[in-house]
Structure 1
Amino acid sequence: MTMPKIAFGGDYNPEQWSEDVWIEDMKLMADAGVSLVSVGIFSWACVEPRPGTYEFGWFDRVMDNLAEAGIGASLATMTASPPPWLSRHHPEVLPERVDGVRLWPGGRQQYCPSSPVYREYAGRLVERLARRYAGHPALKLWHIGNEYGCHVRACYCDASAEDFRRWLRDRYGDIGALNEAWSTTFWSQRYDDWADILPPRTAPTFANPAQKLDFARFSNDAILACYLAERDIVRRFTPDVPVTTNFIGLVHKPIDSYRWAAEQDVVSLDSYPDPHHPQAHVEAAFGYDLVRSARGGQPWLLMEQAPSAVNWRERNAPKPPGLMRLWSWQAVAQGADAVLFFQWRQAVGGAEKFHSAMVPHGGTETRAHREIQALGREIAEVAELAGTRVHADVALLHDWANWWALESDAHPAVLDLLEAHLAHYAPLFDAHVTCDVVPPTADLSGYRLVVVPNLYLMSTEVATRLRRYVEGGGHLVVSFFSGIVDESDRAYLGGYPAPLRDLLGLRIDEFWPLPANGTIELDLAGERRTGTVWSEWIETEGAEVVATFADGELAGRPAVTRHPYGAGVAWYLATRPEPATMRALFDRIRGVADVGPTLPDLPAGLQAVVRHGPERSYLLLLNHGAEAVTVALPEPAVDLLGDREHAVGAVSLAPRGVAVLRR
């Protein structure tokens, strides 16, 4: 998908308003610089009020209004929330929780992804939509479903059980292979008939971890099948219209974004950082780097964000003046070619009536709307950014199967993978280093440094890839509890981490997780430092000891190691150093790997990212700090949000300030 400019707009829900408001909407959208809206997301009950009775006339007028106003439609397939009549006629479409409780209508997404009835009715609607609006001048993008897996992450009903069994037969071929993969000789779980296999419903104690892992894989695939069915329908009628669906949250555990991204023309993301969280922009940055990386650096779409407060947290903070602008530009800096919001008009009723909107309850004479108008004008000024890309010398590895397995039951300690990722990502972000977030199967050859936090589940293929990467001159950082089990959550034998022992030059005999909130002292080159979360009993097998544990039963034993391998180096962290120590270690490792910041000598709190085009590059500076800063530029550049007539050698940024510089 190519965009002529950075798109600007939001979710548009005209069915909530009378038609005289629609006319005002077109004028206000023009005034705000709106160029793209998501439309029809929750319109199923309005266009099909009764089974088989379609009323598209009102929606025709909506699409025509958009076309006349020169506003593009990201047209949803309307299947995100079935109308109440579907579950009245077909209660079997309703999903069930792990404990067998059925989920009822009255909210949204009340459908089982494996339900053939739901898929049939959804397919009928999507085909009518695609036939009707193929060739419509407003249609610019297909928006399949909405926020898949948001409320129903997995269904445990009988329809899902049958679908799960089919999925398992496809995966394993015969039941003997499944028994081997699931280690069913443990606890007398051996299966002789596929019919005996169920989803991992609530059980007396720990469910089989391999069964849970496969059910997570299956649940992702079952939801993906709903998306693919609808995508294939719209592609039959509109093969030239690009297709997307919006990922929810910065990283959403049930949905494997890498798998899904391969089935889309452009990736889109809903992002809702918490203004109360002092590191919200760092968490957002991690999500943006992941979604950008999901299609090899292709620009992506920020499909939803809040103009100010949301409605679903315990404490819903508004965005202070300037923060909405800053966070919008942060998405653009990290590769977004669209800045959209939920939603255009703030709802009068319903569960999201206190969620902020581009046009608030107070109307256009509000701070929020004035800031929206100002941002729309700014976005329009930087059309040349569209299509440019972000490049990175560093990659952090993330894997959904590992996430599902790592956070399963009965491990040495409870680990939070996103917390681990952020602990390794933050020292790179704070050092002004751009980072991709890629799957372990990605081509790593172009990166100077690769970071592997807690990759507990690791195939021998991935281990071989890491070995070849380092052998070829790469620099690798591996954190504890990595390379422990295979794809079926079966432990490797021969000493941990068996597939990486030669690469890391060490053997781990025992895991020594720390108590909750516990710490352990480290000796790093004669300096006392602190480790958190974890420790291990390590026996070196060629690795150089960089830091040791300095107290407790492990005093004097290795805590951080370094092992030359081929033309490269592999580092190992047997604990999680506290942030200052992690930053010091990463700075040292980056120096050896020749990974520098985007610009030298940048102040803390500043983010600097470069977007590269075929002829020019663009430097985006964002001040997340509380103090004004001045940044000296290595070469004069034109500030596209300021003086476009003269190149400048330095830029001053107030708190929450932004500069977009053409170099």
Structure 2
Amino acid sequence: MKIGVDYYPEQWDRDMWEKDAETMARTGVKLIRVAEFAWSKLEPRDGEFDFTWLDDVIRIFSRYAIGTVLCTPTNCPPLWLYEAHPEIVRVGIDGKRIQTGIRAHRCINNPTLRFYAKRITEQMIRHYSGNPAVAAWQIDNELEAYSCTCDVCKAQFRDWLKDKYNDLDGVNKAFGTSVWSGEYSSFEQIMPPNAYPKAWQNPALCLDWYRFCNDSVAGYLKDLMMTIRLEDTKIPVTTNTWFCENTPDFYKLFDLMDFVSYDNYPPIRIPVDPNEYYSHAFHLDLMRGVKEKHFWVMEQLSGPTGCWMPMSPAPRPGQIKGYALQAFAHGADTVLHFRWRTATTGAEMHWHGILDHSNVPNRRFVEFSELCKSVSQLSILDNTEIISDIAILYSPETDEAFKIQPQVEGFHYLEQLKAFHAAFTHYGANIDVVSPDTDISGYKLVIAPSLYVNRKSVTENLYRYVINGGTLVLTTRSGVKDEHNNCIMDTLPTVFKELIGAEITEYDPIGNDMQVIRDFAGNEFRCSQWCDLLQPTTAKAYAEYNEGYYRCIPAVTMNRYCNGVAYYVGTVCKSDFYESFASNLMMQTGVPKLKGLPHGIEVTTRTNGRDEYICFFNNTDKPKTIPLPKPMYSMISSMGKDKLELQPFEMDIVRK
């Protein structure tokens, strides 16, 4: 486990580099990430490359035993390149080229951009291949499922559709273009769906455009990855990602990468409402599940954030250290903080680093130093892994389909996943967040919220899992769409009717209005957003609506199917329902649970196959006390404890 920082030597006087390296080494920093925005420094003029300054940086930090993550600078082409080749500039939804001057305004499909991006990457890898100070490579920066409407992208999208559907008849059939006289009579009529809000446009076209954008990003990454691999087959390669405006399909994004890297900015303000799911434990578990192995955090919260929005509050005492340890607990191998020093120029000058503009060590620096010391004590966790009995399925295509056609006020796909994740976290369970295509046969319990867009392979995967004895939970808005994002003409939940043993006779999109359900034990819970009215065929009611014209109609069902069990949750509830439901599910499936955990305490267990290490994290702004079932040895304080007293955002790790 290593701690690092994002460093921008090109923004600072050369005489600061040595001082920074010395201070970082003394603090405990093991890695720096450099060069992701430095193309103009590395290639100041077309074909003229200057690596001398970067050589000096790597050499200086290497002397202090600090390794380097080298980035291809392809996110920010230099202005001379835009000037010489204006065709590489991304075209916006208005059909005009975006004004250059900030980052990521290039079209990644443009052949000229690809040529120059591959050339600078090739020059860099040839220069630094075999350099022992280079720990890894990062390709580009925060790639999104970009939406460019230039002529190149239009032509490639049409070719992509030809490859998928063969001819216009196939496109027209898949898109259902008879609506609004939308039949295509030539491929040149097909345009990117960017001129109007997505909800006004053909949903099948919009989803295929999203798929095309993801394939474009994957192709761009493949080009640069292969450029690196031609010169060096051993060095690990990644790219970094986050949940952004055009969130990419993480599974496609990292398909060829050696490991996942995530930019992690947990919330500084802790909400009072217990139904607001703020923990980034969900995000971290999702990133671990993308390639089903440990990952890196390439950017981590270091100070007040502010750039395109007003500044946030400063991280509270304990958040810098605690949130980094939270990432390690959920499977991060390395955490790099953004950034070492706050910029004094440019748009990000108020996105604060470890050091403020004063360049004087502050409270955050002291806490960061404590973090480095704590991580140095945790080498025993290096060879451990997280083994989970529970999986939550995340579908990028379903996420995008809900963005294309919002269902009802207040309904958000990711919130459905977070609700279940938070509930199982409340009982100390390890949780994997994985793709619907994952082999789920080894899990005791699988949660598949709102599988809105369905593929045959995923449906078969879920049926096979339950037939072989698994316990599955499906939720409202499952089985609505086919793979083209068109509604299935069948009683909901269509392909899952047999599995859940019930049909939906009617639904009520109530939005922010409230309903009440009552479970089999007589417990009442509030629900909102969406209400499916279920008619069991072979299922039994787990909970029924308790108000309005559908009082006594099932809202949640349980069905025994072959050797397994399938539940269906037909509404969206508050957190108390999910905690109650999770408790029952864990009891029925034999998943161990910790009782009496205070709210906001997150527990993750890591094992090396012989010993188990339990991480207790207080993700609240209040002190918490956790009684232990027996005295345990703390890896942090190096002493035995029969209870844990955790300050806000503090973590302790005990050996079971």
Shared fold per TM-score greater than 0.5: yes
Asked if 2 retains the 8 angstrom alpha-carbon contact of 1:482 and 1:497, the reply is yes
2:185 equivalent to 1:189: no
Tell me how far 1:80 sits from its aligned partner: 1.2
Matches within 5 A, 1:203-352: 203=196, 206-249=200-243, 254-278=247-271, 282-296=278-292, 298-312=293-307, 313-352=309-348
Q: Bigger CA drift: 584-593 or 206-215? A: 584-593
> What amino acid is the match of 1:13?
Y
Asked if 2 retains the 8 angstrom alpha-carbon contact of 1:253 and 1:403, the reply is no
Tell me how far 1:252 sits from its aligned partner: 7.1
Q: Percent identity?
A: 32
CA distance in 1, matches of 2:211, 2:383: 33
2:367 to 366, 371, 374: 371
Q: Which residue of the partner structure matches residue 485 of structure 2? A: 489
Tell me how far 1:215 sits from its aligned partner: 0.3
Asked if 2 retains the 8 angstrom alpha-carbon contact of 1:210 and 1:488, the reply is yes
Q: Which residue of the partner structure matches residue 459 of structure 2? A: 463
1:171 to 164, 167, 178: 164
> What amino acid is the match of 2:157?
F
Asked if 2 retains the 8 angstrom alpha-carbon contact of 1:475 and 1:569, the reply is yes
Write the deviation string for residues 627-647 of structure 1: whole angstroms up to 9, x where unpaired: 44444444554322212xx54
Asked if 1 retains the 8 angstrom alpha-carbon contact of 2:427 and 2:595, the reply is no
2:614 to 609, 612, 619: 619
2:401 equivalent to 1:405: yes
CA distance in 1, matches of 2:640, 2:524: 48
> What amino acid is the match of 2:230?
R
Tell me how far 1:218 sits from its aligned partner: 0.6
* Structure 2 alignment gaps of length 5 or more: none
Q: Bigger CA drift: 334-343 or 399-408? A: 399-408
Matches within 5 A, 1:351-500: 351-409=347-405, 411=407, 415-500=411-496
CA distance in 2, matches of 1:409, 1:493: 18
2:195 equivalent to 1:199: no
> What amino acid is the match of 2:112?
V
* Structure 1 alignment gaps of length 5 or more: 1-5
Tell me how far 1:177 sits from its aligned partner: 1.9
Q: Which residue of the partner structure matches residue 3 of structure 1? A: none
2:513 equivalent to 1:518: yes
CA distance in 1, matches of 2:542, 2:25: 60
Write the deviation string for residues 159-210 of structure 1: whole angstroms up to 9, x where unpaired: 1101111211222223322222111222222223222222113149821110
1:658 to 630, 651, 654: 651
1:608 to 603, 607, 615: 603
Tell me how far 1:374 sits from its aligned partner: 1.5
Q: Bigger CA drift: 306-315 or 140-149? A: 306-315
Q: Which residue of the partner structure matches residue 60 of structure 2? A: 65
CA distance in 2, matches of 1:265, 1:488: 31
Q: Bigger CA drift: 606-615 or 229-238? A: 606-615
2:633 to 635, 638, 650: 638
Write the deviation string for residues 577-607 of structure 1: whole angstroms up to 9, x where unpaired: 222122212222222122222x443332211
Tell me how far 1:445 sits from its aligned partner: 0.9
Tell me how far 1:253 sits from its aligned partner: 5.1
Q: 1:385 to 1:106 in 2, by over 3 A?
A: same
Q: Aligned to 1:351, what secondary structure does the other structure show?
A: coil
2:108 equivalent to 1:113: yes
Asked if 2 retains the 8 angstrom alpha-carbon contact of 1:406 and 1:415, the reply is no
Q: 1:283 to 1:455 in 2, by over 3 A?
A: farther
Tell me how far 1:650 sits from its aligned partner: 3.8
2:538 equivalent to 1:545: no
Q: 1:95 to 1:25 in 2, by over 3 A?
A: same
Matches within 5 A, 1:530-569: 530-569=526-565
Asked if 2 retains the 8 angstrom alpha-carbon contact of 1:200 and 1:207, the reply is yes
Write the deviation string for residues 496-515 of structure 1: whole angstroms up to 9, x where unpaired: 1111001111111332100x
Asked if 2 retains the 8 angstrom alpha-carbon contact of 1:253 and 1:400, the reply is no
Q: 1:136 to 1:417 in 2, by over 3 A?
A: same
Asked if 2 retains the 8 angstrom alpha-carbon contact of 1:72 and 1:138, the reply is yes
> What amino acid is the match of 2:7?
Y
Q: Aligned to 1:350, what secondary structure does the other structure show?
A: coil
2:591 equivalent to 1:595: yes
Tell me how far 1:360 sits from its aligned partner: 2.3
Write the deviation string for residues 273-322 of structure 1: whole angstroms up to 9, x where unpaired: 121143888431110000001112x1111111121211134341111111
Q: Aligned to 1:161, what secondary structure does the other structure show?
A: helix
> What amino acid is the match of 1:473?
G
Q: Which residue of the partner structure matches residue 580 of structure 1? A: 576
Q: Bigger CA drift: 411-420 or 497-506? A: 411-420
2:47 equivalent to 1:47: no
Tell me how far 1:137 sits from its aligned partner: 2.1
Q: 1:572 to 1:604 in 2, by over 3 A?
A: same
Asked if 1 retains the 8 angstrom alpha-carbon contact of 2:95 and 2:150, the reply is yes
Q: Bigger CA drift: 355-364 or 134-143? A: 355-364
Q: Bigger CA drift: 625-634 or 486-495? A: 625-634
> What amino acid is the match of 1:212?
C
> What amino acid is the match of 2:26?
D
CA distance in 2, matches of 1:613, 1:21: 42
Provide the TM-score with structure 1 as the length reference.
Answer: 0.94
> What amino acid is the match of 1:579?
S
Q: Bigger CA drift: 541-550 or 9-18? A: 541-550
Q: 1:67 to 1:281 in 2, by over 3 A?
A: farther
Tell me how far 1:109 sits from its aligned partner: 0.5
1:82 to 77, 80, 94: 77
Write the deviation string for residues 526-579 of structure 1: whole angstroms up to 9, x where unpaired: 344321111123222121112222222222211111111112211111111222
Asked if 2 retains the 8 angstrom alpha-carbon contact of 1:517 and 1:533, the reply is yes
Q: 1:161 to 1:587 in 2, by over 3 A?
A: same
Asked if 2 retains the 8 angstrom alpha-carbon contact of 1:546 and 1:562, the reply is yes
Q: 1:131 to 1:500 in 2, by over 3 A?
A: same
Q: 1:410 to 1:290 in 2, by over 3 A?
A: closer
CA distance in 1, matches of 2:214, 2:455: 20
> What amino acid is the match of 1:286?
F
Q: 1:373 to 1:527 in 2, by over 3 A?
A: closer
Q: 1:291 to 1:141 in 2, by over 3 A?
A: same
Tell me how far 1:241 sits from its aligned partner: 0.3
CA distance in 1, matches of 2:180, 2:477: 25
Q: Aligned to 1:513, what secondary structure does the other structure show?
A: strand
Write the deviation string for residues 111-148 of structure 1: whole angstroms up to 9, x where unpaired: 01211111111111000001000111211101111111
Tell me how far 1:493 sits from its aligned partner: 2.5
1:161 to 143, 154, 165: 154
> What amino acid is the match of 2:47?
G
Q: Bigger CA drift: 620-629 or 606-615? A: 620-629
Provide the TM-score with structure 2 as the length reference.
Answer: 0.95
CA distance in 2, matches of 1:268, 1:601: 34
Q: 1:186 to 1:633 in 2, by over 3 A?
A: same
